Amino acid sequence: MARLARATKRRRAEPCPSRRIERATLAARLDAIDTEAAEAKRQEAAQDRADAARAAAVPDPMTGTLTAFGIQAANVDLIAGLAFAAVPEAVACYCWLLALRPAESNKPNAGAAVTQVTVVSHAMTEAPIEPAQATEPR
């Protein structure tokens, strides 16, 4: 900054291209240094926010464990919410799958081989009784 101030104060009667180049170079360097300082401040602020989020997530065991790996606490909460929502959804899909199966698959032994059954009767057969000849009483 001091060099830029000195280069700006020096004036001559006629314009000097080397002085203009020196002023432009010094101004560009100063802008680059300001940009680097602003970026360093942003990174430091982001790191402070991440540290604060990790410190706040420590009481929650799952969030605290996953934030130790560098995952943000908000993302951990989102992943946990999606996982807890996916379980009932999967159960509901499975129940619909069971309810909408074709009717023939609900019968026991569906698709089993069919064999011929021969009916054998173990009943006793009786011979017809013939009426006895009527005898006249004597």
Examine residue 97 and state whether it is found in any structural domain, yes or no. yes
In the chain, how many domains are there? 2
pLDDT digits (tens, 9 = 90+) for 40-67: 999 999 999 888 877 776 677 777 777 7
Residues 27 and 4 in one domain: yes
User: Does residue 53 sit in the same domain as residue 71?
Assistant: no
Q: Are residues 48 and 64 in the same domain?
A: no
DSSP sequence for the chain: -HHHHHHHH---SS--HHHHHHHHHHHHHHHHHHHHHHHHHHHHHHHHHHHHHHHHHTTSHHHHHHHTTT--HHHHHHHHHHHHHHHHHHHHHHHHHHHTS-GGGGSTTTTPPP--------PPP-PPPPPPPPPPP-
Containing structural domain, residue 92: 60-103
In a domain, 49, yes or no: yes
pTM (two decimals): 0.35
Which residues of the chain register pLDDT less than 50? none
The answer on 51 and 14 residing in a single domain is: yes
